[in-house]
Each structure stands twice: as C-alpha cells, then as structure tokens.
A and B are shown apart, each in its own frame.
Chain A
Amino acid sequence: MLSDANVAAVWLTLKLATITTVILLIVGTPLAWWLARTPSKWKGVVGAVVALPLVLPPTVLGFYLLITLGPHGPIGQLTQFLGWGVLPFTFAGLVVASVFYSMPFVVQPLQQAFEAVGARPLEVAATLRASPWDAFFTVVLPLAKPGFITAAILGFAHTVGEFGVVLMIGGNIPERTRVVSVQIYDHVEALEYAEAHVLAGGMLLFSFLVLLALYSRKRTSAWK
C-alpha cells in the first residue's frame, strides 16, 4: 500500500520527531525550570522568545534560520570552521530548525508543571538532607511527570506536523529532508491523489489519536 518513497518519508519523519523531542526534553527542562523559578527581569524576554514560533509564520522562522545557518551566517561560519559544513538542506539542519520550531510546545507544559509543583517540595527535601540535584530527581521529576508526558507528546506531534520550516531550510531531498508533509505536497502537485490520500489520511489519524490520548488522560495525577 505504501510506496518505497512514502515509507522513506514516514521513516524520516519519525526519526526527525524522535530526535527533536529527545533534544527538546534535554534542553527544555533546564530552560523551563529557570522560567518557572527565576525572579529575573529577563524572564519575560526569554519567555516571549521561546513562544515566538507559536505566532510567526514558519517561513519567517525558516528564512532567518536559513540566513543564520547558511554559508555566510554566523552559525554557518562556525559549523564550517569546525569542519561540519553547512546545515541547510541536511537532516541535521532539519533537526536544528525543528528544535526551535517545536520549543514552546515542550517548554510551556514543563514550565507549568514546575510552577504547579512549587518551591515547597524542594524545601521539604532540603530539610530531609537532599541536595538540590537529589531533590530535583527524586521529588520534582516524579511530581512533574504528567507535564513531561504532555511536553513529549506535543513536541513529537508538532514536529511531525511541520511543513513550512522544512521547505525553507531542508528543501525536498528524498531520504534526507523529504518528510511526510512535504511528500504529500509533492503528490498533490503531481496529481497523485491516491498516494496523497494514504499519507494525508495517516497523518489525520495519527494526529487525532495523539490528541485523543492527550485529552483523555485522567486529570488525576500520575502517581496514584
């Protein structure tokens, strides 16, 4: 039912979403923690920058990423200096772009979860001899688990669903940057509606199931 090209696109999409989600959980956790706890006046600025992809057209984000990561951009100069070449039109470039694009979908649920946990459990843990790191892993992480699940689901699903940024930064290279959303666009351009239906229907089903899982998760906490 799936052509080889479609299988390659699905595989590439899942790989991109998985890697992006893992990176975002690692990068997003300290960022969300800082946003949840800091009294700094920079909190508003950083929070706004993180949220920008929610409102910007993907073409704008993609355009600036293309410039910055390109051969004449500052990051591009750095990656060339390090011998990594330039990132646009590579899978690595897609990962970098997706990390920025899906950032708010991971950072915001984590920030809310950390804010809900509050400072008190950390204080309690400190009076029970737990160092801040110890308390983070043994108290905050378990208490914020529902937030982590939401963040991972949203980050993954949003990366699967991206299109504009991929076109801007990754182009349309089979097995390297041609993800499902781009593949559907190609099929429709070529009037291959049957092929498009398979992928589009699959995306619809996938998205519905993800959101169904997210919204029907019990409001009760995960440890009960």
Chain B
Amino acid sequence: MISDQGIQARFQVGWPGFTLDVELRLPGRGVTALFGHSGSGKTTLLRCLAGLERRNVGSLKFKGEVWQDDARGIYRPTHRRPLGYVFQEASLFPHLSVRRNLDYGRKRVNGGHKVSLDHAVELLGIGHLLDRMPERLSGGERQRVAIARALATSPELLLMDEPLAALDLKRKSEILPYLERLHDELEIPVCYVSHVPDEVARLADYVVLLSEGRVVAAGGLRETMARLDLPTAFTEDAGVVIEAVVADHDETYRLTRLDFPGGGVVVARRPESLGHRLRFRVHARDVSLALARAKGTSIVNLLPVTVVEVADADTPAHVLVRLDAGGTPLIARITRYSLDHLGVTLGKSMWAQIKAVALLG
C-alpha cells in the first residue's frame, strides 16, 4: 500500500511542555486522517509537512523528492513545495475578492493546471460568490473558498487542519459533502487533521493516531479503529467503521438493509438507491453479547460472531471484546462481570446484538 510513491517523514520538534517525535510512512493517495486529542501534536505534524515549522529537525520525502533532510542541509521552503493548505480558521485575504483570492495561488504556479479553476469552483459550489469580498461570506462559504483556493494551485499534496472545527453543525454538514467529493475525485494524497471520530470515519482511508506528540497507531482506517491496544483516550470512544452496500428497501416498515462482508444490518429507510456504498460506525458501547440468538428482543440487528481478543476498557468494570463477524470486525464493550459469567473466551462463537449504528453521510 505504501511505496516510494508515498510520504516518508521523520520530525522532531519541541518547546517547553511539548515534544513531537514521529516517524511516518503515509500512502501516496487517499485521505489520511491525523487523529488525536488537542495537544497531541497533529497540527504541528501537519505544519512540519508543509514546511511551516522550521524549528523541526528531521527529514521528509514526498513521492521520491526530498523536501527536507537536515542531515544533508536540505530544506525546501513552503512556497516551493507543491502543496495546498487549508487552515483551521478562515484564512482568506481580506483585501482581495473571492476571485482574486482564488487567483492568488493559481497565477503563481508554473506549468500545467491539472485542476482547472472552473473545476475547483464547481467542486466547492462557489460560482455565485466570486465577486464578493471575504467579509461578506458566511463561515462555511469562506472555508469552501479556502479549499478551492488551495485546489486551484493544482497541489500534489493537500493538507487540511480541522477545516470544519470553527463551524457550527449546520455549516459542517454543508461542507462535508464537498469534502467527500474531493475524496472521490482527487488523485492526490490528502492529510486531514481532526479530533472528531465521526469525521475521520466518514472521510479517511488511512489513519494516524497521535498522543502526546507520538504516533500510537497507524494503518488502514478499519483495522486501526478496530484495534484494542490503544491508549484509553481512544478506547473510551471505541468502535468500528464498516463499509456497506444498500441491498434492499422495505417499504412496509420503512427500513433499509445494508450488506457488508459476513453480514448485514437493518436501519431506518435511507434515501440512497440500491448498490450505493455507505459507511457507518458501530460504537463498542452499542454492542452487547449473548450466548444464543436472542428471542423476544426488540433489537433487530443480531450477528453471529467469534471472539478474537479481549482487552481492558476505559474503566476497570469494563472490557473491550473484539469480534469477527464473518470477516468484518466488531468491538463490544461489556462488563467484566458479564465476561466471566458468560464465559467469554477466545474463539468462542456468540451472538452480537447491535443496538444502534451511526450512519456517516
């Protein structure tokens, strides 16, 4: 998955009270989420990739090109790296109209424009805003313009620092579909900083978990999110991400069946047509375990599973149980009491009862 076509990075930077010390290999396409709590160093890591954190010592190789190698005295300044950067807060130049903001980076790029301005404008839906000044835009519109401005430089790497963090829920849901389109249409790697699990689950293919300036886990989204050996900071919100296909609609009960390798779940009727791909998240706290297929329960989603792993949870009273549902991982958060009384052991066949699934998108 990760070859010389990807990103290899090693950074060390610190100041009183904080140290970032990471070594990373990231894939050369798809969305990589840099995920962690505030203060975990994810923004600093993104700034190191962009060349904005000059104090760092290390090396950075992007698709075979050396962008930084302090051992050899190589440091390519930010303005000579073919990247796009979307800052957390609105970063439009207030003295320039939307159109001139978009042109600012574009006209400084030599050579071919792989992403045309029209395409960026269309992708972000900002055609009607071109002649406005930034102060006349809503927060969501500003962020869309900022993303389009970054794309208009035809970057080979797109870096996004919590582009939704400064927005309210309504604005967030306004931008998320555009980000998903970026994910589907862009051929370039995207590094996306976030501390919101649902955002990561919805957008990312690859995830790097950061804690206190160190990488605690990195890998494909589904494998990494299903790991149990992560610090408690991550397991209190443990869960898995499942990619499924819309398989059937039941008009009588207004339900939709979503199929994934090894099983399926039933959810409230979705607007998507048959065959559409959807991601959903199953929180560990919404999964319980039973020895046999329960009868007389209101829970609709029951899956036969095998116990794969048991690990400590965020409280001493609970454990996390990793399950295999015919190829798809699930995590259940149950009490230690239940673990002992049900005799949950590795390899045991059980039934998982899923109380709720969180559809993403």
How many A-B residue pairs lie within 8 Å, measured between CB atoms?
62
User: Do the beta carbons of B109 and A223 come within 8 Å of each other?
Assistant: no
Residues of chain A contacted by B77 (CB below 8 angstroms): 126
User: Do the beta carbons of B95 and A143 come within 8 Å of each other?
Assistant: yes
A143 to B94, CA, bound (A): 8
What DSSP secondary structure best describes chain A's contact surface? helix
Given contacts A123-B52, A124-B87, A224-B135, contact A129 B95 (CB under 8 A): no
Given contacts A123-B78, A139-B93, contact A128 B87 (CB under 8 A): no
Q: Identify which of residues 25-50 in chain A touch chain B, using a CB-to-CB cut-off of 8 Å.
A: none
B46 to chain A, nearest CB (A): 11
Given contacts A126-B78, A127-B150, A129-B108, contact A223 B83 (CB under 8 A): no
A180 to chain B, nearest CB (A): 38
Given contacts A128-B149, A130-B79, A224-B135, contact A120 B87 (CB under 8 A): yes
B297 to chain A, nearest CB (A): 54
User: Do the beta carbons of B79 and A221 come within 8 Å of each other?
Assistant: no
A142 to B85, CA, bound (A): 22
User: Do the beta carbons of B78 and A124 come within 8 Å of each other?
Assistant: no
**Contact string against B for A residues 124-147, beta-carbon threshold 8 Å, 1 for contact and 0 otherwise:** 111111111011001100110000
Given contacts A123-B78, A127-B85, A128-B149, contact A142 B95 (CB under 8 A): yes
B105 within 8 A of A: yes
Residues of chain B contacted by A123 (CB below 8 angstroms): 52, 78, 85, 87
Complex partner residue of B91 from A120, A132, A138, CB under 8 angstroms: A120
**Contact string against A for B residues 60-103, beta-carbon threshold 8 Å, 1 for contact and 0 otherwise:** 00000000000000000111100111010001011100000000
Complex partner residue of B50 from A127, A130, A143, CB under 8 angstroms: A127
User: Do the beta carbons of A130 and B104 come within 8 Å of each other?
Assistant: yes
Residues of chain A contacted by B353 (CB below 8 angstroms): none
User: Do the beta carbons of A223 and B104 come within 8 Å of each other?
Assistant: no
B153 within 8 A of A: yes
A6 to B101, CA, bound (A): 52
A127 to B52, CA, bound (A): 9
Complex partner residue of A221 from B80, B84, B94, CB under 8 angstroms: B94
Residues of chain B contacted by A74 (CB below 8 angstroms): none
A121 within 8 A of B: yes
Residues of chain B contacted by A131 (CB below 8 angstroms): 79
Complex partner residue of B93 from A124, A129, A134, CB under 8 angstroms: A124
Residues of chain A contacted by B79 (CB below 8 angstroms): 125-132, 134-135
A127 to B83, CA, bound (A): 7
Q: Identify which of residues 118-172 in chain A touch chain B, using a CB-to-CB cut-off of 8 Å.
A: 120-121, 123-132, 134-135, 138-139, 142-143
12 A-B residue pairs with Cβ-Cβ distance under 8 Å, sorted by A, are A120-B87, A123-B85, A126-B77, A127-B150, A128-B104, A128-B149, A129-B108, A129-B109, A132-B79, A134-B108, A223-B95, A224-B135
Q: Which 4 interchain pairs have the tightest Cβ spacing?
A: A128-B105, A223-B95, A127-B85, A129-B108
Interface of B with A (CB < 8 Å)?
50-52, 77-80, 83-85, 87, 91, 93-95, 104-105, 108-109, 133, 135, 149-150, 153
